[in-house]
Amino acid sequence: MYAALTFQESKQRTLVPKQVVGLAAVLLTGAAITPMNMQIAEMPETGTNVINQADNRITDLTLQPAVNLKVMEEKSGAEIFSCVNVSTISLIEAKKELLELKDNITASVLSWQGISYKWGGRTKAGVDCSGLVQRVFRENGIQLPRSSYEQFRVGVGIPKAKLETCDLVFFNTNGSGASHVGIYLGNGQFISATKNCVEIQSLDEPYWAKTYRGSRRVIS
């Protein structure tokens, strides 16, 4: 009789790391593989607290880029505002200086009202049209030629509808071009040394409307 000898192979126990098990579980559920999923897979199953903590970390990671972007936008906006602010201040200062200059010129020429006309004159003993313009502007730091014909070539031409205070208005009063000049005061009025005296008149008066030659802006 033969004795049946049974040999039982010793089975070695294979240990599978918990990380691999967790990863497999994630793959089987079809969930996206992210570092946060890996952390969840590695954690022991201790209830909903673990999941909640993971969700909180995910939320924090999601909000962080948005917060950084908002800070960058606010910083960039502050820099732009600073640049615009400097430019705006410069423009305001320039506008203020221009308005002060115009006010000074207007005050100067109005002080000549009633002065008698004198051809070639440039003083308050007697003055002509171009002499008045030259004198008033020179008192405010602006040099202009002596005659109305030369003054008509200075500055920039301005349409009648776009006139501003202290623009020069020219007239053809003797058939030889810009033979008369005055200083615009606004509201359709100008001041000049006429054959009577230095006086304020309207551009809409028939005589001045008919002889109007053009306008020039010598300050801007």
Two structure tokens written together for 93: 């200062």
- When divided into structural domains, the chain yields a total of 2
The Cα 181–Cα 170 span in angstroms is: 5
Q: How many CB atoms lie within 10 A of CB 8?
A: 5
Residue 84: per-residue pLDDT: 52
Residue 175: per-residue pLDDT: 81
119 and 190 together in one domain: yes
Q: Is residue 78 part of a domain?
A: no
54 and 129 together in one domain: no
The Cα 101–Cα 71 span in angstroms is: 45
What pTM was computed for the model?
Answer: 0.62
Backbone angles phi and psi of 35, in degrees to 5: -55, -30
DSSP type of residue 146? S
190 and 114 together in one domain: yes
30 and 120 together in one domain: no
Q: Is residue 90 part of a domain?
A: no
Q: Is residue 4 part of a domain?
A: no
66 and 117 together in one domain: no
Residue 83: per-residue pLDDT: 52
Q: Is residue 53 part of a domain?
A: yes
156 and 204 together in one domain: yes
CA atoms lying within 13 Å on the CB side of residue 87: 6
Q: What is the pLDDT along the chain (220 residues), one digit of tens a residue?
A: 444 444 344 444 544 444 444 444 444 444 444 444 444 434 444 444 444 444 444 444 444 454 454 445 555 555 544 555 777 888 888 899 999 999 999 999 999 999 999 999 999 999 999 999 999 999 999 999 999 999 999 999 999 999 999 999 999 998 889 999 999 999 999 999 999 999 999 999 999 999 999 999 999 8
Q: Is residue 88 part of a domain?
A: no
List the domain range (segments joined by +) for residue 113. Answer: 109-217
154 and 206 together in one domain: yes
Residue 76: per-residue pLDDT: 52
Assign residue 145 the CATH number of its domain.
3.90.1720.10
